[in-house]
Structure 1
Amino acid sequence: MPVRPPAPLTAARLLRRTLRRHRGRLTGGVALLSLHQAAEAAVPLAIGLIVEQAVATGELSALVGSVVGLAALFTVLTFAWRFGARLTEAAIHSETHRLRVEVAARALDPRGHRTGLRSGELLAIAAADAERTALIIRASTVAVAALAALAVASAVLLTIDVALGLGVLLGVPALVAALQALAPVVTRRTAAQQAAAGATTALATDLVTGLRALRGLGAVDNAARRYRDSSRHTLAVTLRATTMSGLYQGITAGASGLFLAAVAGVAGWMAIRGRISIGEFITVVGLAQFVAEPVRALGFCGQLAAAVWASAGRVARVLTAPPAVLPGQRTPARPARVRLALAGVSYRSLRDVDLRLHAGELLAVVAHEPRDAEALLDLLRGRVPADDHRGTVTVDAVPVSDLSIDALRTQVLVEPHDTALFEGTLRSNLLVHSGDPDPDPDPGVGVARPAGQVSADAVSAEADPVLAAAITAACADDIVGLHPGGLDHPVTDRGASLSGGQRQRIGLARALVADPPILVLHDPTTAVDAATEQRLAAGLRAARHGHDRPDDPAAPATLVVTSSPTLLAQADRVLVLAAGQVVGSGSHHDLARTDETYRAAVLR
């Protein structure tokens, strides 16, 4: 019998899953909060009984017993609320954490995602929408507890007078149903407010990330105007949503007040006519005042459910987004002499590109147009689905689309031009690629690591030869030696505490520490001075290709996308891309002597 695929995750299914995942705490929380509300509803009844059986009769023993009973009632309702609320809050925070982890895992999935959302919007969903979605737990427990309170109050009222009890039983559902007519409007405006806030957050993230570039281009004023317009739009949408929310609350409070006034008026008329006693009248008035709380709670739950539904839809959109790339399961059987190859590849601006990177080779690529370089780097990162390009991209004779994610990461490391550093220390940033992903479960048994994978323990000392050699090759000695903390010098988020040249050198040193079989670099020297660039180019050559291993298919290979003549001079071969096509190949010196366009592009 064929297995049916799982149903797509919608907002409704996500909310049901949330409730199922915490059914233990939810059951306990609902039971205790319902007990609390039932005890609250019993307070007016207890007061009415005390008036009739103790105050009116003047019996001391009845009064003492009544006070003790009332104290016990308040003890029950207090502890029931305390522990019920604790269970509910624990479930809410636990679910918030789990949803945030799920959204973050989807956003960081190496296969990518087709959400169409920017980083700032994903951040807003992981932070705000995940927390708001978990509030379905609070809405559910509060709603059930409110219904329990109304059930107890209605039962007492039915006992006192059937007509009065039926009035409450029929009037409250009608009131709640009428109030729910506004819920779709609240949902739509809340969803619009969340989307606008996410877009503004995304824009703010983009502007902060590119602030230095904006300053360099003199575009800060234009960027500020864009953010101001987006912020004003978000403010307007938020005010509309808040206005609707306030209107909803106001109508809820007003309608419930009128309803309760009617109940109290009818009870007073019955007391005057002698249909109910004074104690029953006190009970009815007390219950009439109390019923306002569960009615308002039901209104709050309706309003909260509208916001929860909108957030759940945004979270479900992220969690159900298909991956951008579907990787394979293969791993290269052995290193090939051609470590990396593009055969007839057309993608975006690229047209029928052929490229071969041999074992032990340092290949440079000069792209006259930045878009050609970006398209090439996206292909090498494995971010492009096989259906989105023509031709084949292979690593060690295996198509990239057939490689597993782990195999591709082990074989190819692409160090981007915009070096991404993380908050921590110089050491933690240098070792970000070099941790052992599969720790040995038995410390007594040695496990051979792939080339370039160095455990964090192995580089804990300042004098570690692998780390020291990488730092020297990347000309990062002065960065480490400049600070008293050395490798333990703190680095702020995105490396903001370092200059552009320092970030580039730390990024290159990090790539050299990882020592991947295939290293791809994109403009690694644009922010350093000429003297440093000369030393860095020589250091890169020595670190990656200092040992002459022409017949070793496992020799590391390096591809550098650059227009730096210093780096080009160190390359074994230079490939020239123009208008998306390969238009030249040879050594840097030969191309500079024979190709005028090449010479004009790189010898500035």
Structure 2
Amino acid sequence: MNLLWRTLLRNRGRVASGSLLIGLHQGCQAVVPILIGVIVDRAVATGSLGRLALWTGVLGVLFLVLTVAYRTGTRQLMRAIADEAHRLRLEVAAKVLDPRSEVRTGDVLTISTTDADTTSYLLDYLPRLFGALVATAISAIGLCLISVPLGLVVLIGTPVVLIGLQRAAPRITRRIAARQEVAGRAASLATDLVTGLRPLRGIGAQDAAARRYRDASRESLAATLRAAKTLGWFQAASDTVSTLVACGIAILAGWFALSGRISAGELVTVIGLAAFLGEPFATLSAAPGWFASSRASAERIEAVLALRPAAPPGGDNPVPPVAGECVGVVVEPDAGALVALLDDGSPDVLVAPHLPELFSGTIRENLLDPDSSEQLGEVLRASAADDVVAAHPDGLDHAIADRGAALSGGQRQRLALARALLARPRLLVLHEPTTAVDAVTEHAIARGIRDLRHRPGSTLGTLLITTSPALLAVTDRVIVVRDGTVVATGTHAALAATDDTYRAAVLR
């Protein structure tokens, strides 16, 4: 609920003005049948053309006011909704872009789109609810001026009906929240599976992934049907009650007209108000479902915003700069904080992220720096990217799509590694650079990195933040960081022989 309050507070100006304008629009609509009744009694019944022209002009002004009020009010509210949804997406993006945060890609997609939009719709629901209350109040007052019993039907019946309908609100909230949660999980899973489709095919796991998505989709369908059933019963009950109230008012008015207690114009007004009240009654009865949807989406966004990324290791940097060394770093439970700490923008340090990014263009354009072309062949061999180049007839001039969409995960990793090696930074930080390649290629890459950057006399340093035994085996030493503290240092072989925790983390 804190997010919903914050959403209202930072849009309070537009919501307040929009609510007043929507209230004015609804109030004018409620006055229309009242004014028509006045025209019938004071102009039509008397046969006065002057009064007919006067009151018709008043009716025209009323329609002008309600039209302008509606257009201006909805413009204010739509602007507020769009701006708030944008702010929420930026907040979610800022949270998940923190390299120390771990949020699944699919979750980010559903939360930053559907949930952000649904939460921002609160800025429309409140003005509509306010407008419905204004319309109901004016209608009740108009009916009271004609006949107190008719007005009391609305003044007493409306709160009773709303209180009764509100008893279903908690159940609606639970069903809608459950529906959005499982639907979000299904969408998240679909996004993650599509993103990793090539690696899944590579290891023959596509059938298992399809079964997993099928189960999640069926769960989502079942939750959607349960929520739809609850909302359907609720809507049917609210429509039935609203119709009965409107029919009761019309029947009572007809009786009063036949007994001479109200005039023909007043009968027209009552029938018009009875018909008009269906709209605000529908809004009032649908409100619990609307607010339940916004609340459920807000809770999903709050869950992301409340994530506390792993704190950077305290004290001095636990991994000192290396010169001429190849150092392995095993971080438990999460390496994100250490990667973020090292990625400080220093010109002497290049941090190659775990998830590589390629841009549209040729392989050559994704790799080459004008000053590094002499090393290209050597770097391609060291990173095992020469196989990627050789797999295409155009070689280095082969065109790749944005983000390397047509390449497998292993091909993207190897090209990104080649690009990092071509840069020749004094300190190169590689975070799990071989997770999408096979074991044989991983061993070749490990030896290639070692041979390329750590020849005799080299002053270049490399940090391999990984749990891969193939990569750790080529390092000069390994540093084990657990919960932000260095707990062990030694060679890979020595740690594997003496440290049970290290062995469990690495030798899997």
Q: TM-score range by the shorter chain?
A: 0.7 to 0.9
1:465 to 371, 384, 392: 371
The 10-residue stretch of structure 1 (251-260 or 103-112) with the greater mean CA deviation from structure 2: 103-112
SS in 2 for 1:274: coil
Could you tell me how far apart the structure 1 residues matched to 2:23 and 2:334 are? 59
TM-fit CA distance, 1:269: 1.5
The aligned residue for residue 112 of structure 1 is 101
Instruction: State the shift of 1:106 in Å.
Output: 1.6
Tell me what 1:284 maps to: 270
* 1:528-585 alpha-carbon deviations (Å, 9 max, x no partner): 999999799668744x4569356xxxx53354866669x978x76897646963569x
Native 8 Å contact 1:45 1:283 kept in 2: yes
- Look up the match of 1:381: 335
Percentage of matched positions with identical amino acids:
39
1:260–1:76 distance in 2 versus 1, CA, 3 Å: same
Equivalent pair of 2:33/2:273 in contact (CA under 8 Å): yes
8 Å Cα contact 2:313-2:337 kept in structure 1: no
Q: Quote the residue 1:421 is aligned against.
A: 357
* 1:383, distance to aligned residue in structure 2 (A): 3.8
CA distance 1:135–1:423, shift in 2 (3 Å): farther
Alignment counterpart, residue 319 of structure 2, candidates 316, 336, 340:
340
Q: Output one character per residue of 1:478-534: Cα deviation in whole Å (capped at 9) or x when no partner.
A: 9789798978944344x3312455423321133233826242364659859999997
Residue 462 (structure 2) pairs with residue 557 (structure 1): yes
Q: Summarize the Cα distance change of 1:140–1:408 in structure 2 as closer, same or farther, 3 Å threshold.
A: farther
2: CA distance, partners of 1:535 / 1:194: 44
Instruction: After TM superposition, list the pairs within 5 Å mapping 1:135-154 onto structure 2.
Output: 135-154=121-140
1:466 CA drift (Å): 4.8
The more displaced of 296-305 and 496-505 is 496-505
Contact 1:474-1:508 at 8 Å conserved across structures: no
Asked whether the equivalents of residues 348 and 426 of structure 2 are also in contact (C-alpha less than 8 Å), the reply is yes
The structural deviation recorded for 1:293 is 0.8
The match for 1:244 is 230
Select the residue among 271, 282, 295 that pairs with 1:296: 282
1:61 and 2:61 matched: no
Contact 2:356/2:413, CA 8 A, preserved across alignment: no
Q: How many Å apart are 1:40 and its aligned residue?
A: 0.4
SS in 1 for 2:309: coil
1:41 corresponds in structure 2 to: 30
Post-superposition CA distance 1:120-163 (Å, at most 9, x none)? 23432222222111111111010001111112112212222223
CA distance in 1 between partners of 2:198 and 2:312 (Å): 36
Question: Cα 1:469–1:41, aligned 2, differ >3 Å: closer, same or farther?
Answer: farther
Per the TM alignment, residue 207 of structure 1 is displaced from its structure 2 partner at its CA by 2.6
Task: Map 1:243-262 onto structure 2 (within 5 A).
Answer: 243-262=229-248
Task: Give, in whole Å, the separation in 2 of the partners of 1:40 and 1:25.
Answer: 22
Letter of the aligned partner of 2:69 in structure 1?
A: A
2:344 is aligned to: 406
Give the TM-score, by structure 2 length: 0.81
Q: Please name the residue that 1:505 is paired with.
A: 414
What count of residue pairs does the alignment treat as equivalent?
A: 483
Q: 1:531 to 1:235 in 2, by over 3 A?
A: closer
- Which amino acid in 1 is paired with 2:167? A
Question: What is the CA–CA distance in structure 2 between the aligned matches of 1:408 and 1:162, rounded to whole Å?
Answer: 79
Distance of 1:380 and 1:178 partners within structure 2:
51
Q: Is it true that 1:474 corresponds to 2:377 in the alignment? A: no
C-alpha separation between the residues in 2 aligned to 1:409 and 1:327?
Answer: 22
- Structure 2 counterpart SS, 1:406: coil
Instruction: Indicate the larger mover: 528-537 or 308-317.
Output: 528-537
Q: Identify the match of residue 213 of structure 2 among 227, 231, 250.
A: 227
- The aligned residue for residue 320 of structure 1 is 306
CA distance in 2, matches of 1:63, 1:538: 95
Q: Residue deviations 1:159-188, cap 9 Å, x none?
A: 222232222111111111111111111100
Deviations 1:100-123 (A, max 9, x none): 11122222223326xxx6442343
Deviations 1:371-420 (A, max 9, x none): xxxx9255793548xxxxxxxxxxxxxxx99x68737998573554xx53
Does 2:266 align with 1:360?
A: no
Could you tell me which of 133, 145, 151 is aligned with 1:165? 151
Q: Which runs of 5+ in 1 are unaligned?
A: 1-10, 333-338, 342-356, 366-374, 385-399, 432-461, 585-600
Map residues 203-222 of structure 1 onto 2, 5 A cutoff.
203-222=189-208
Amino acid at match of 2:335: R
316-325 or 288-297: bigger deviation: 316-325
Q: Which secondary structure does the structure 2 equivalent of 1:47 belong to?
A: helix
Is the counterpart of residue 520 in structure 1 residue 425 in structure 2?
no
C-alpha distance after superposition, 1:233-264 (max 9, x if no partner): 11111101011111111111110000111111
The structure whose RCO (Cα within 8 Å, separation 6+) is larger is: 2
Q: 1:74 to 1:329 in 2, by over 3 A?
A: farther
Partner of 1:91: 80
Amino acid at match of 1:498: L
Greater helix share, structure number: 2
Determine helix, strand or coil for the equivalent of 1:413. Answer: strand
Q: How far apart, in 1, do the equivalents of 2:62 and 2:476 lie? A: 87
Summarize the Cα distance change of 1:487–1:358 in structure 2 as closer, same or farther, 3 Å threshold: same
TM-score, length basis structure 1: 0.69
Distance, in Å, in 1 between the alignment partners of 2:326 and 2:219 is 52
Deviates more, 1:529-538 or 1:123-132: 529-538
1:201 matched residue in structure 2: 187
**Cα pair distance change 1:541/1:207, threshold 3 Å:** same
2:461 partner amino acid: P
SS in 1 for 2:101: coil
Task: Give the superposed CA RMSD.
Answer: 4.0
- Residue number in structure 1 paired with 2:258: 272
Preserved CA contact (<8 Å) 1:53 1:62: yes
Structure 1 residue 266: Cα displacement: 1.4
Whether contact under 8 Å (1:523, 1:563) holds in the other structure is no
Flag the 1:208–1:532 CA change in 2: closer, same or farther, 3 A: closer
Q: Distance in 1 between matches of 2:334 and 2:158?
A: 64
CA distance, structure 2, for counterparts of residue 382 and residue 81 of structure 1: 50
2:177 corresponds to: 191
Aligned residue number for residue 485 of structure 2? none
Shift of 1:68: 2.2
Distance 1:485 1:147 in 2: 70
CA contact (8 A) 2:331 2:465 kept: no
Give SS of 1:557's match: strand
Q: Which residue of 2 aligns with 1:347?
A: none
- The answer for unaligned runs of 5 or more in structure 2 is 479-489, 500-506
